Amino acid sequence: MRPENEALIVIDVQNDFCPGGALAVAGGDQIVPGINALLAEFPVRVFTQDWHPGDHSSFASQHPGLDPFAVTQMPYGPQVLWPDHCVQGSDGAAFHGGLETDYADLIIRKGFRRAIDSYSAFFENDHETPTGLEGYLRTRGVDTLTLVGLATDFCVNFSAVDAAKLGFKVTVDTSLCRAIDLDGSLQAAMDGMKAAGVTLR
């Protein structure tokens, strides 16, 4: 068992991010057994869940004339437009069926505000609106995090960098992550995480 100050953060291991899903990450389902094997080691386990209303502003379907994976400007900065995914209550938003979710002490749902996307487990994409995760971890006495999940270059990356900025000691287990790799986004994410002080293994 890990020390009481350590938490495992499992990022967005949901059907829509796995093969066959609306925004499938290649090999996304392959990480499930490894994550399950880790869960019992940690005293604190947090799962995140992308949880969008059907008309979320990050969906390309809400922007006539723009295709999925185009980039548009939002009030909070550039935003990739995604295929509709992880719509609240849908099968696509559900956790992968093989994931042992009973271990979760807390499930953080993000992206539920229509006007703003949320990659990070800690903040909305304005980098200001908190999800409440930091406070939860602090009150549990946690200062050391291991992150796993989907996708390496988006939600895992943003979560890891934010956690490091907040003063947590952060490790990303890259063997238990998979990436979208949109126009070089994976290398950029790896470089950015290292620059933020995140340990990659």
Active-site residue list? 12, 110, 155
Is-contact 136 173, C-beta < 8 A? no
Helix (H) or strand (E) holding 199, with range, is strand 199-200
Rounded Cα distance between 144 and 129, Å, is 22
- C-alpha radius of gyration, the chain, whole number: 16
Could you tell me the CA-to-CA distances from 75 to 23, 126, 133, 144 in Å, in that order?
24, 9, 24, 33
Is-contact 25 156, C-beta < 8 A? no
Q: Please give the span between the terminal C-alpha atoms of the chain, in angstroms, as a whole number.
A: 19
